[in-house]
Structure 1
Amino acid sequence: MTTIQSMAIKSLYEQDFYEWLQTNINLLRERNFADIDLENILEELESMGRSEKNALKSNLRILLMHLLKYKYQPEKRTNSWVYTIIEHRIRLGDTFTTSPSLYRFFEEIFNESYQNARKLAAGETGLSINEFPPESPFTVEEVLNTDFLPSDKN
C-alpha cells in the first residue's frame, strides 16, 4: 500500500469509524502491519479499557445506592429497587466473566464507590447523608451475592 493509501486509512478514522475499523481488521488479518493505523488503534484500545472501568464503577455505585435505599427505607421498597439490584449484579457478573482482571479494580474502588453511593442515596431519598454509615454496611461478597438483600437498618 502506498503512503497515500495509508493516509486515506487514517482519515477514515474521522470520516467513517466502522469502515476504518473493518479496514484495520482486514490489514491485521493479512498481517499487513505497515499500513495499519497504529496510533488510532492504540487510542481506541486505551479508551476501551477506560470505558470498561467506568461502566464497572457506575454499576457498582448504582447497586450500592439501591442496597442502601433498600436497607434504610424499608417502608418504601419497590420491585423496581429489587430489579435494579438484580440488573446491576448481572452486569457486574458479566464484566467479571469477560474481564476477570477487573475484579481487582472493583476491590480498589469499592470504598470510593460506597461514598458516592451514600451521596446519591441521600439525594434520592431525602435522608441526611449521616443516616448512612460512613463505612459500607455491606461486604464485597454480599454486594455480589445474588441472593443477598439487606435487612432493615437495625
Structure 2
Amino acid sequence: MTNIQSITTAIASLYEQDFYMWLQTNINFLKEGRFAEIDIENLLEELESMGRSEKNALTSNLRVLLMHLLKYKYQPEKRTNSWLYTIREHRKRLRETFKTSPSLYRFFEDIFNESYQDARELAADETGLSIKIFPPESPFTVEEVLNPDFLPPENDRSENIE
C-alpha cells in the first residue's frame, strides 16, 4: 500500500471516529493542495447531505409559517404574540436562506403548494377546526408569505364550510 493510500484509508476511518477532526483534516488537505489524500467518497456524501438539509429546513420553515398564517387568519379570537413571533421568526429564516442560497428560491416556489397542503392539515390538527375551514388553495401569495409587513385579515369562516 502506498503512503497516500494509507493516509486516505486512515482519513476514511477518522470519518467514523471523529467527524470534526475528519472535517478539519480534509479542509487542511484542500488548503495545502493535497487532493490525492482527501476522503472524496465521504466528502461527497456530506456535501450532498448539506443540500438536502438546506431544502428540508426551507420546507419546514415554510410549513410552520403557512400554518401560523392560517391560524392567524381563521382564529382571530385566539391570536397571540407567540403566533406573531413565530410568523416573524420563520420569515427571517426564509430570508436568510435566500440570502445565502438564492438558487433555493425556485425550490421554494416549487414546494409552495405542497407545503400549503401540509400546513392546512397541521392547522386543522392544532386548532381543532375542520380542515374544510381552510381553503384548498392557499389564500396567501408567495409575496405575501415573505412580506415582513403582511398579516392576514380576519376571515369569515362560513365562506369555506361546505
TM-score by length of 2: 0.94
Shift of residue 2, structure 1, vs aligned partner = 3.2
Residue 37 of structure 2 aligns to a residue in which SS? coil
Q: Where in structure 2 are the equivalents of 1:80-95 lying within 5 Å?
A: 80-95=82-97
Identity %: 77
What is the distance in 2 between the residues matched to 1:57 and 1:2? Answer: 42
**Is residue 97 from structure 1 mapped to residue 105 from structure 2 by the alignment?**
no
What is the distance in 1 between the residues matched to 2:50 and 2:145? Answer: 25
What is the distance in 2 between the residues matched to 1:82 and 1:45? Answer: 35
1:138 aligns with 140
Q: Where in structure 2 are the equivalents of 1:1-154 lying within 5 Å?
A: 1-154=3-156
- The answer to whether the 8 Å contact 2:30/2:38 transfers is yes
What is the distance in 2 between the residues matched to 1:28 and 1:2? Answer: 15
Shift of residue 4, structure 1, vs aligned partner = 1.7
What is the distance in 2 between the residues matched to 1:51 and 1:81? Answer: 25
Q: Give the residue type in structure 2 aligned to 1:101.
A: S
What is the distance in 1 between the residues matched to 2:88 and 2:126? Answer: 19
Structure 1 alignment gaps of length 5 or more: none
Shift of residue 86, structure 1, vs aligned partner = 0.1
Shift of residue 5, structure 1, vs aligned partner = 1.8
Structure 2 alignment gaps of length 5 or more: 157-162
Q: Give the residue type in structure 2 aligned to 1:29.
A: K
Deviating 4+ runs (over 4 angstroms): none
Deviations 1:78-120 (A, max 9, x none): 0000000000000000000000000000000000000000000
Deviations 1:105-140 (A, max 9, x none): 000000000000000000000000010000000000
